[in-house]
Amino acid sequence: MMTGIRVAAIFLLAASIAAPVFAQSPGADTYKAKCASCHGADGLAANALGKSMKVLSFKDPAMLKASDARFIFTTRNGEGKMPGYLDKLTDAQIKDVVAYIRTLQK
Q: Which domains, and CATH codes, for the chain?
A: 27-104 (1.10.760.10)
Helix (H, G, I), strand (E, B) or coil at 83: coil
Report the C-alpha gap between 102 and 106 in whole angstroms.
Answer: 7
Q: Tell me: the pLDDT tens digits for 84-93? A: 999 999 999 9
Task: Report yes or no: 27 and 36 within 8 Å, Cβ to Cβ.
Answer: no
Residue 19, pLDDT score:
40
Q: What is the DSSP letter of 42?
A: T
CB burial of 58-74 (b: ≥16 within 10 Å; e: otherwise) equals beeeebeebeeeebeeb
The identity of residue 64, as a single letter, is L
Q: Are 71 and 39 in contact (CB under 8 A)?
A: no
Return mean pLDDT, the chain: 85
Residues 58-79 pLDDT 10s: 999 999 999 999 999 999 999 9
CA 23 – CA 79 distance, rounded (Å) = 31
